[in-house]
Structure 1
Amino acid sequence: MNLQIFIICMVTNLWVLSPNVQSFRFELESGHSKCVAEDIKINSMTAGHYSVVNPNEGQPLPESHKITVKVNSENYYYLSENVQSGQFAFQAVEAGDYLACFTVVDHQPPVKISVEFDWKPGVAAKDWSNVAKKGSVDAMEYELKKLADTITLIHEEMFYLREREREMQELNKQTNSRIAWLSLLSLFICLSVTGIQVWHLKSFFEKKKLI
């Protein structure tokens, strides 16, 4: 029993220490767009923060360094136009790919803008520092709340993976069944063509009185 608890704690700690966070910097040219996709499970929390990198530290950002950000799926839509930074957060109402697209208005002469983007799903999307401040909880309660949320996320992830495995098994069964029918059909066609060829050759030889 103690071994099982130890294994669960180890897995949980690894999950907490290495969250699935997309954090990177990319460049955009005038009149161009760049999109980032994230596969999010239903009812999962997600949050994103984006900002234009100042090319001249200590000075205000140029007016040309503004972007338009759009995040959407089939039933969710977020739009922020001509901004230099911002953030979004939502709970996914459906499972699937969510697309975040960044666009720079066409400028003359062309400019190149660097953008920093953090996309945090699941536990990482929650602002735990604010939770601790607002709830006036001590360090132990803070860690327990975070741990409980992480365990819940792992539990949901396990069910999600089982569902995906079941879908893959169904797909494999359907594929194998179709391949089997296709093989039978191919065999029938080959035998039919062979029979027709034999009949044609036999008729040809009989007409020529060779048999």
Structure 2
Amino acid sequence: MLSMTLRLAASWLALFLLLPALLHAHIIDVEAGKKDCFFEDLHKHDKMTVTYQVGGGGHLDIDFWVRHLVNAFLSPVHQIPQLSDPDARLLGKQIRQSTGTLAITAEKDGRHEYCFSNQMSAIADKIVSFNVHGVIYVGDDSDIVAPIEREIRTFSNGLQSVKDEQEYIVVRERTHRNTAESTNSRVKWWSVLQAIVLFSVVAWQVYYLKSFFEVKRVI
């Protein structure tokens, strides 16, 4: 009984510590012609899901992929994973998407890299909001995982999905608002241009008619 109580307390503590990470999406600015990459160290059968949305820039599209870095090693200067692993195994790729979700299950232990690429654009930077969440694989041995712990994990994953949807609703609303403001601005300046052209034509016609009658009067 005491063991079950301790497990339950530990599970709720883990969930409590996880909540702050669920409250905020990661937001990055991917410069034109470049890519931003991140990595997670996964064990076999671990699950990882990345959801993302382009919130601004260009045509609101981005390239995204996930790879298993077979021969990942650290740079002696920056101590970051090298991104040019020739033996890396591509696990999923999405091209020129505004929003997307990519879920993988690790087939082997190792470093898994996911990248947002804006290399197709030469001018526009892209603002990308994304979330990464996963499920650590644990066997079904009842001595290791109690039913209440499974329920807590299920609840945690459901909470993650709800938070992701809420954050993407905010991003979509911001994107639509930016589009509407951009359209209104273009309509306004087009109307100003039309008004200038109209007044110019009227002024020219008045001047032409005035000159025409002055010439007639002289004759």
Could you tell me the TM-score, scaled by structure 2's length? Answer: 0.49
In structure 2, the partner of 1:147 is: 152
In structure 2, the partner of 1:84 is: 98
- Provide the secondary structure at the position in 2 that maps to 1:111: coil
In structure 1, the partner of 2:10 is: 11
Larger RCO (alpha carbons 8 Å, 6+ apart): 2
Query: Which segments of 5 or more consecutive residues in structure 2 lack a partner in the other structure?
Result: 71-88, 137-146, 156-219
Distance 1:45 1:83 in 2: 22
Identity of aligned residues (%): 15
Checking the alignment, whether the CA contact within 8 Å between 2:11 and 2:149 is kept in structure 1 is no
Could you tell me the TM-score, scaled by structure 1's length? Answer: 0.50
In structure 2, the partner of 1:104 is: 118
Checking the alignment, whether the CA contact within 8 Å between 1:40 and 1:121 is kept in structure 2 is no
- Provide the secondary structure at the position in 1 that maps to 2:7: helix
Cα offset, 1:92, TM superposition: 0.9
Please tell me the residue identity of whatever aligns with 1:121.
G
Distance 1:90 1:119 in 2: 11
How many residues of Structure 1 are paired with residues of Structure 2 in the alignment?
123
- 82 and 46 in structure 1: CA distance in 2 versus 1, 3 angstrom threshold: same
Distance 1:45 1:119 in 2: 11
Cα RMSD of the aligned pairs, angstroms, is: 2.9
Please tell me the residue identity of whatever aligns with 1:100.
Y
- 12 and 79 in structure 1: CA distance in 2 versus 1, 3 angstrom threshold: same
Query: Which segments of 5 or more consecutive residues in structure 1 lack a partner in the other structure?
Result: 56-61, 124-141, 151-211
Cα offset, 1:70, TM superposition: 1.3
Residue deviations 1:90-120, cap 9 Å, x none?
Answer: 2111111100011113545x22211011110
Cα offset, 1:7, TM superposition: 2.0
In structure 2, the partner of 1:173 is: none
Distance 1:16 1:76 in 2: 32
